[in-house]
Every structure is written in structure tokens, then in C-alpha cells.
Amino acid sequence: MLEALIDIIGNPSILIGIFAFVGLILQKKSLSEIVSGTLKTIMGFIMIGAGANVIVSSLDIFGKMFNMAFHITGVVTSNEAVVSIAQKTFGIQMALIMVFGMIINIFIARFTKLKYIFLTGHHTLFMACVLSLVLSTSGVKGIPLIAIGSIVVGVWMAISPALLQSTVRKVTGSDQIALGHFGSIGFLIAAFIGKFLGDRKKTTEDISVPKNLSFLSDGSVAVSLTMTILFLVIAFFAGPAMVEKQLSNGTNFLVFSIIQAITFAVGVHIVMAGVKLLISEIVPAFKGIAEKLVPNAKPALDCPTLFPYAPNAVIIGFIMSFLAGVLSMFLFPIFGLAMIVPGLVPHFFCGATAGIFGNATGGRRGAILGSFANGLCISFLPALLIPFLGNLISKTTTFGDADYGVIGILIGYVMMLK
């Protein structure tokens, strides 16, 4: 029973499908509308997940090429890897923190002005894992560990979307949805930098394209070409022989690189199609929950839901965040920190979203500077978090997104004061 519950609350597509189902029932929709709306909501989320898997697969190849090219080893940022190790020891604690954290989130949304219900289930799981490790390392066990972890998770699930909402409104032009992602501190920094150092009038989405290059106005084509250039450059540094021997199974390294780049663009395209389907279904369905259970509540959704609003900022954000990660590798030894190898997954999803936030408040300059600042955050915060994760986690992996680092480090220091 517990394993089934963990599977349900840890699967964002099922979780968000349940919310849609409840919302449609509360609105007394017909059976056909309930079935259609629920299934389409789940389909949209699965499409986002499928696209994300394609992107992650392509980025994994890119990361291996990068390591071949520059012979770098160190600590890799991977939320999934840490969770897979920790759940063997802290599976029950993580599950209970998730459940009670979500209940606290709904309670806060119902009785306070923070009307946000956090629906990114896997991020809730990751944060529950962070707190289980940090609190355990600090000597907190049993019920106190679950209680403290649940309160921190539930409160942050309500606060983080609220902190981002003013910028989300600028991005989407409406107030129907919120952003539920634990990279929120990095996004806030990007928006802040964009506001004070950028120029909102010169947006990334108004970049003029000559007529003979009009094909670049197509987002999918622009992503394909950008990633093709990046893949080819890294492939040349890695060396044709190494790529063909270890990655492509003998396929020409140029052909292999181009296919991987286009595969990445396909993943982005799938994500955007899934987002459109999800938004078209979840917003009307969620209205039922908002009206009946939590009046005026907003669904806080994962960051790819914002990608269609500023596709140019997505690519700019990814590139600049990754460049910040590369630069950080030269700085870690100076500060005596563990070498954090740039994780392509956090740099893409968090970097892209930071680019969107920076663009919303400061245009092109905001997107560039804001996403670069985010890249520094998700490079140094994981390094600073490592000592608080204890001996259970090896020194080869750590959490990637900004909130895990900030919350984990703060809780760790607070527990040291007790």
C-alpha cells in the first residue's frame, strides 16, 4: 500500500490527473467530459515527460562528449541519482514528508493568501530527499525528522510560486497558472538582474531575422541549428575516433552529432506540444478545485510550461547558464570546493527558465545576464551542499537546482545551532 502511494504521489502525470479529475467532478461535468479532461491532462503531462526524456538522453550524449573533450571528472549534479541512493535508507521518511508536505501546502492555500497548489510531484520528492539527508546528518531522527521536513516542504511549496508570480504574469500575460519548480531562487535572481541591468523593451523574441534567414523564426529550426553547432564543436574537441568508438557505435561522428542535435530539438517540440495540451485542460479543470476546496487557487506547474512563451530566451538561457557552469570549474579550486561538472539537465531546464525570467524583466540583456547568474548559482550551491548530505551519498553526485542547495544549507546550519 505504501509503495503504491509513493508511486502515485511521485508520478506527476498521475498526480495532476487526479487534481483534474477532482476538479471536473466538483464542477459536475458529464462523464464524457470528466474522462476526456482527465485523460488529456495526463496525456499532456506524459508528453512533457516524454519530451524531457528525449532531451535528457541527448544531453547525456553531449555531456559524455564534453568529458571526453576536456578530460574532466568530478561531482555530477543529478537529483535522480541522489534520490535513487537515498530511498533505500530513507524511503519511508521521504514518502511521509511528501504526503504531509502536500497536505500542509493545501492547508496553507485554503487558509492564507498564498493560493498556490504545487503540482510538480517529482520536485516535492527531491526536496523531501534533501531534507531527509540533511536532517539525518544533523542528528534528527524519527517523528521530528518527518515533522520538520513536512513543514519545510509544505511551506516552501506555497511560498516559492508566490515569489515568482509577478514575473510569471509578465511572461504569460495572465494570472491563471503559477510556476512550481525548486529552481525558484535562481529564477528570482535572474529576474532581479534583468530588472536592474537589462532593457525590457529589447526582448529576445523580437530579434529581427533577415528574409534569407527567415527559417530561423521557426523555433524548432532555430533550436536544431543551435544544438547542431554546439554538438559539432564538442565532437571535434572530443575527437572523431573517441566519439565513434565509445558513443556512436561506428557511425560517423558528424552524422551522429547532427542526429543528436535534431533529436534534442524533437524533444523540445514534444514538450511544447504537451504544454499546450496540458494548459488547455488543467486550467478549466482546476477551476473546480479553486471554487470548491481552495477558492482562487492557482496550479503551480513545472518550468516547461513557460517555454512556449519565449523560445529564443530558452536557448539563450541554456547556453549562458552552461557557460557559467564551465567558468565555475576554474573557480572551485580557488575556493577549496569540490569540482562540480556542469550538469546539462539542470543547466537546460533551470537555465532556460532563468532566461525567460531575465527576458521578462530586462529583455535580451536580462536573459543573458540573468541566466548566467543562475548558472553560477547551480554550480556553487551544489558544491556547498555536499558536506550537509552525510556519508550515505557518494562524492560523485549531488542535487542540482538552486532551492535544494539554499534550503538544504540553511536547514543544515540551523540544526548546527541546536
Low-confidence residues in the chain, pLDDT < 50:
216-217
Closest CA to 264 of 288, 296, 231: 231
Q: Cell digits for 370? A: 540573468
Q: Cell digits for 229? A: 553547432
Number of domains in the chain: 1
* Residue 208: exposure state from Cβ atoms within 10 A (0-12, 13-18, ≥19): exposed
Q: Domain for residue 311, yes or no? A: yes
Contact 348, 55 (CB under 8 A): yes
Q: Domain for residue 66, yes or no? A: no
Contact 358, 318 (CB under 8 A): no
DSSP, residue by residue, 303-321: GGGGGGG-HHHHHHHHHHH
Q: What is the pLDDT of residue 15?
A: 72
Q: What is the pLDDT of residue 357?
A: 97
Q: Domain for residue 62, yes or no? A: no
- Range of the structural domain that residue 408 is part of: 2-55+71-416
Q: What is the pLDDT of residue 132?
A: 93
Q: How far apart (Å, rounded) are the C-alpha atoms in residues 81 and 86?
A: 9
Q: Domain for residue 64, yes or no? A: no
Q: Over the range 14-50, which residues count as b (16 or more CB within 10 Å of their CB) and which as e?
A: bbbbbbbbbbbebbebeeeebeebbebbbbbbbbbbe
In what order do the strands lie in the sheet containing 75-77?
340-341, 75-77, 397-398
Q: How far apart (Å, rounded) are the C-alpha atoms in residues 83 and 131?
A: 11
Strands 298-301 and 116-118: parallel
Q: Would you call 117 helix, strand, or coil by DSSP?
A: strand
Q: Would you call 399 helix, strand, or coil by DSSP?
A: coil
Q: Domain for residue 174, yes or no? A: yes
Q: Domain for residue 332, yes or no? A: yes
Contact 398, 75 (CB under 8 A): yes
Q: Which long-range contacts (CB under 8 A, 24 or more apart) does 92-96 make?
A: 92/2, 93/128, 93/132, 93/136, 93/145, 93/146, 93/149, 94/125, 94/128, 94/129, 94/132, 95/2, 95/5, 95/6, 95/9, 95/128, 96/146, 96/150
**Model pLDDT for residues 105-136, shown as the tens digit of each residue:** 989 999 999 999 998 877 888 899 899 999 99
Q: Cell digits for 221? A: 529550426
**Model pLDDT for residues 152-204, shown as the tens digit of each residue:** 999 999 999 999 999 999 999 988 889 999 999 999 999 999 999 988 888 88
In Å, how far are 24, 40, 92, 309, 413 from 33, measured between CA atoms?
A: 8, 10, 37, 28, 50
Q: What is the pLDDT of residue 59?
A: 72
Q: Domain for residue 257, yes or no? A: yes
How many residues in total does the chain contain?
418
Contacts of 36 (CB under 8 A, 6+ apart): none
Q: Domain for residue 169, yes or no? A: yes
Q: What is the pLDDT of residue 94?
A: 82
